[in-house]
Amino acid sequence: MKSSDPSSAPPSTWWLDAAPAATQGLSGSEAEERLGRHGPNTLEASNQRPLALQFLARFRNPLVLVLLAASAVSVATGDAANFFIIMTLVLLSVTLDFVQEHRADRAAQKLRESVALRATVIRDGRPQELPVSELVPGDLVLLAAGERIPADGRVVEARDFFVNQALLTGESYPIEKRPGELDRGATELQQAANAVFMGSSVVSGSARVHIMATGAATALGEVAHSIQSEPPPTAFEVGMHRFAMLLVRLTLWMVLFVMLVNLVLHRPLLESFLFAVALAVGLTPELLPMVVTVTLSRGALRMAQRRVIVKRLPAIQNLGAMDVLCTDKTGTLTEARISLERCIDADGRDSQRVLMLAHLNSVFESGLKSPLDDAILAREIDAGAWTKIDEVPFDFERRRVSVLVDRGDVRWLVVKGAPDDVISACSQHEIDGGGSRAPLDAAAKARLQAQCRNLEQQGLRVLGVSWREVPRDHPHADVRDETNLVFAGFAAFIDPPKAGAGEALAALAKSGVAVKIVSGDSELVVQHLCKLLHVPVTGVLTGREIAAMDEAALRARVIKTNLFCRVNPAQKNRIILALKARGRVVGYLGDGINDAPPLRSADVGLTVDTAVDVAREVADMVMLDHDLGVLHDGVIEGRRTFGNVMKYIMMGTSSNFGNMLSMAGAALFLPFLPLLPTQILLNNILYDASEAAIPLDRVDAADLRRPGTLDMRFIRRYMWLFGLISSAFDALTFWVLLGMLHADVTLFRTGWFMESLITQVLVIFVIRTRDRPWRSKPAAILTGSSLAVVAVALVLPYTPLGHLVQLEPPPPVFFAWLAVMVATYLVLVEVAKRYFYLHLTTTRGHRMPLHPLRIRQS
């Protein structure tokens, strides 16, 4: 039967209309036709443009536009050679940038698609797992606890179906959704009890939903601009922006200075303009965006080999900069193979009755079942005589779940949850194996709490189990029924430590990452686990203590505390924000429905592939193995990525800045331009070609030991020291060329072109490591590309291209001087580098290495 097609822009109160006709879902052909009509189920329109347009967009770069204008002026003045050279260099630079970034983006996109959210859809009469983006109006979707609602839809069938729609309505508690007709006055989203909306999440139960609106036509799509903000920039992105602004200011001042000098000296206006533009190009590290993208993409591919999928590339650097990791213990520090160890009654004796009550609660609970439920259900208990009437889902305020069950002759409310919260709702407790009851007075409560602590001290996770009889005609269960309960006993579970967890924690600590355990479990259970893993406990905070603290007090305690126990999701988020306020780069590893806020607040959100949809959607990275050892590998990869980006930045802020400073100064004192504009551009493109292999370079082990972020103070100091050294050496080169070799204008430009290019290229082997250059082996491809450019520089004056850019073959004696000058410069830079790291990188007067890999953003 062909299903009706809801309008692409349904009325805002479509839930008041008649229920859609019963369907078996769409056929594949119907869905394909509707996808073409309504578009993908995403909040933003696809921004994928044809490759040709993407390539042409590169020409909108301001510096490229200036070069194109300069080439147009060259044509207008009859300088065809200059036009040809500038256009060739522009095309080479843009093409290299485009090809490298396109390949990197495609690789990263494939990784993101591998962990994209999927939904169970009825297509061609059978359930299929499809990407959420392929859903269309008219689809029939099956939803279960823990899943993200993929589009707006009308509830067709539901079973104890509770959703959290706080993103849209601000309601903090789950809302039950049922099929049916509504009163015509129910025009608000909060009143739409028969409808679900994109962006909500399923807390408990299951449902079949008829999709009414997708993408921008959904309620979320209408307000996405106001409630869905972009994630805040990472520390790395902030640093890159500051670095770019530093270069913009330097470039602007240098260009204005050069133009003013040339105008005062009455030099040709066109030549002066082109020289100033060439200076701007030479000072700008045009390949930096490509180097960053390729380096991050390569890091994402390497992390994928270690079974960590990166969804947001800049998060790789944040992972390397991370110095605090907050994580739950289950599945990370433990095996997550939870087994029911024992069930005991209020007298401390093993009890089959407590097991039966716990089993009734777990088997009829429709929410997302926890590993504790699975452990209970693994025990064979016959519950066939019981039927479920209703339930009150678990939430983190009550910390318990209740089910209303009927056996025909009795109707019970059976409750299980956190021991303290279950005991607090009880007024009686069972004695004599459940044969009779006694009041739950203060002495009895103290005795039960002592039993619970004794179990927890053995490392057992504990649930409290209680019940009460209700009238046979009691139709529904709600929170108000959870009073005057009868306490039955405890269910105790064992979750052994994960093999290798202790070693992984030690490796993270050695790498400068402090692991803080954030758990809903008892502090006694967590402390027992830490003892088994040989993890020293430096401080413990419970949820009750955190609730009594203001933000300032919490910030004062979070650094030294490494165990946070009995915490709810809101408190987890407070812990993350407090750590960030103390200047820490924080990672959070979580996989539950209520882990979304701390995952979003953390600098890097981590989850696992088995996590609920909500967690996988907001996380920056998805781990295919729930293993801290894998995460440690990811941390090292993040630092390797950052290290290679820093190499290019350090090159751009030393050699580039020094050479351009020399040219600006030479223009003031020499009676001619030290280099022609085309020579500067050619020098720049050859230099960039030699550095394009930096993303593939090795990183020293010493640079992988500590976290770090982009530090502008370090970069400014580095730029001025090495830039001035480069300029001073250029002045020496000028003296050799003019005073000793008596070079004319053409030979001077040839000599300086060769010397500046060769020193710029070879100095990478000194700057790329804090160690002695001969102790740190560069990647073969970087060595090969650098030596190839040096060879080009040596033979260029003998080629037609060299003649075109007005380079001439130097005399043989020049090459002897060139070898001496290059060797002297490299030795000088190595000496300055050692001095810089020992004496100039200090903090508050203390002599302390201030390498960028050791700086944390404050």
What are the catalytic residues?
Answer: 328
Q: At what angle do helices 745-762 and 780-795 cross, to 10 degrees?
A: 170
Rounded Cα gap, residues 21 and 803, in angstroms: 80
Helix (H) or strand (E) holding 236: helix 235-264
Residue in the block written with tokens 């019963």: 22
Contact between 372 and 517 (Cβ < 8 Å): no
Rounded Cα gap, residues 245 and 227, in angstroms: 30
- Maximum Cα–Cα distance across the chain: 114
Phi, psi (rounded to 5 degrees) for 849: -55, 135
Nearest one of 681, 679, 695 to 637, comparing CA atoms: 695
Q: How many residues can be counted in the chain?
A: 858
Phi, psi (rounded to 5 degrees) for 25: 85, 180
- Distance of CA 138 to CAs 94, 117, 154, 178, 294, Å? 46, 20, 10, 19, 41
Q: DSSP for 753-794, please give it.
A: HHHHHHHHHHTHHHHT-SS-GGGSPPPHHHHHHHHHHHHHHH
Amino acid letter for position 554 = L
Nearest one of 613, 608, 620, 619 to 198, comparing CA atoms: 613
Amino acid letter for position 618 = V
Q: DSSP for 566-594, please give it.
A: S--HHHHHHHHHHHHHTT--EEEE--SGG
Angle at 41 between CA 40 and CA 42, to 5 degrees: 95
- Bridge-based pairing of strands 540-542 and 604-608 is unpaired
Q: DSSP for 109-167, please give it.
A: HHHHHHT--EEEEEETTEEEEEEGGG--TT-EEEEETTPBP-SEEEEEEEEEEEEE-HH
Amino acid letter for position 293 = T
Q: DSSP for 416-468, please give it.
A: EE-HHHHHTTEEEEEEGGGTEEEE--HHHHHHHHHHHHHHHHTT-EEEEEEEE
- If you count DSSP H runs as helices and E runs as strands, how many of each does the chain have, helices first? 30, 23
Contact between 485 and 513 (Cβ < 8 Å): no
- Distance of CA 62 to CAs 242, 251, 282, Å? 18, 13, 14
